[in-house]
Amino acid sequence: MGRTRKKLSLFDFLNMTGYILFSLLVLYPFWQTIVLSFSDANASSSLGVHLWPDRWITDAYEFVFSYGNVMKAYVNTIIRTVAGTILIVSFTVLAAYPLSKKDLPFRNFFTIFFLIAMFFSGGMIPDYLLIKNLGLLDNSLSLILPSAVNVFFIIIMRNYFMTIDKGIEESAIIDGANYFQILTKIIIPISKPVIATVALWAAVYHWNEWFHALVYIQSDSKTVLQIIVRDMLTAMDLTQNAQMGGGGMASSKLMLSNVRAATVIISIGPIVLIYPFVQKYFIKGIMIGSLKG
């Protein structure tokens, strides 16, 4: 607002201090994980603030990368994310474009067909039985097919398409273009921002998704990073109990905690690295998607 006062009031000072503390609090668990991942068992088995490792060692990372499953899971996660994102984006575009046509006969029927799926679902067990009956248990397709059609994304994209000027399309039709050509040559090029937003959402979804992988996938060779971390969480319960009983892993050079922290860091690495560059698209997404939906 048109305030010209330069000096900070006490309120401003406290407010900013508050936000700095808040930011540090938000980041502390992340930083602690980094420190833990570069420490060894001795350094990390004492209570403390652990803001800096006693000495930076990369043993945990070496262990993680030499441990076959993690690398395999990394590759699987990348494949899953790429394939899943392509599927989601294509199906979103393919469904959203026809639904954006106000003069499409029975458009309401089709819209409702999609919307119903947003509110009603079979639930965890019927979903599982379907995958089982389709013979997709322990098949990587079970990770990308069930989520390939996302109604929420379709609605967002449909709304965006509806704001596109009809004039360009009509002249293309007169020139003899079919709808598929219009979609690929006209609509998609001018809808890049919304497509980028949906693609990013889809990619983050697939990168983070763990529940389907937990329930549908059994083989270690098909597992994803999230499951590796999750297995280390449940294993932790056991070692913690063991330590209380006096034994545990504390005598070895690395603890499960160090290894887990390293796995967490490599798992979130890609997200954190692209985060500063792409966050504006996420914000854009929430703005287009919210409430007008």
Partner 1 sequence: MQTALQKAETTPERKTKATWVQMKKMKGLYFMMLIPMVMLFIFHYIPMYGILIAFKNFSPGLGIWDSPWNNFEHFKRLFSDFLFLRALKNTIVISLLKIVIVFPAPIIFAILLNEIKNEKFKKVTQSISYLPHFMSWVILSAMVIEVFSPQRGIINFFITLFGGDPINFMADKTSFVPILILTDMWKEIGWGAIIYLASIASIDPQLYEAAEMDGAGRFHKMIHVTLPSIMPMVIIMFILRLGSILNAGFDQILNLYNPLVYEVADIIDTYVYRSGLEQFQFDYATAVGLFKNVVGIVLILTANAIIRRKSEHGIW
Q: How far is the CB of 65 from partner 1 (least distance, A)?
A: 18
284 binds partner 1 (CB under 8 A): no
Single residue of 82, 188, 190, 272 touching partner 1 by CB under 8 A? 272
Single residue of 22, 52, 162, 184 touching partner 1 by CB under 8 A? 22
Minimum CB distance to partner 1 smaller for 60 or for 229? 229
13 binds partner 1 (CB under 8 A): no
Sites for partner 1 among residues 101-140 (CB under 8 A): 101, 103-106, 110, 113-115, 117, 119-130, 134
Sites for partner 1 among residues 173-232 (CB under 8 A): 178-180, 183, 204, 208-211, 215, 226, 229-230, 232
Amino acid in the structure at residue 265: I
Single residue of 44, 76, 81, 223 touching partner 1 by CB under 8 A? 44
271 binds partner 1 (CB under 8 A): yes
Alpha helices by DSSP H, the chain: 10-37, 41-44, 59-66, 68-99, 107-119, 124-133, 141-144, 151-162, 166-174, 179-182, 188-190, 192-208, 211-216, 225-244, 256-289
Sites for partner 1 among residues 57-86 (CB under 8 A): none
Single residue of 7, 10, 11, 273 touching partner 1 by CB under 8 A? 11
- Measured CA to CA, the distance from residue 184 to residue 93 in angstroms comes to 10
Amino acid in the structure at residue 185: K
Q: Centre a 10 Å sphere on the Cβ of residue 252 and count the other Cβ atoms it contains.
A: 10
Q: How far is the CB of 71 from partner 1 (least distance, A)?
A: 18
10 binds partner 1 (CB under 8 A): no
- Measured CA to CA, the distance from residue 39 to residue 50 in angstroms comes to 10
- Cα dihedral: 148, 107, 173, 156 (round 10): -50
Describe the crossing of helices 68-99 and 59-66 by its angle, rounded to 10 degrees.
70
Which residue is associated with the tokens 């379907």?
A: 130
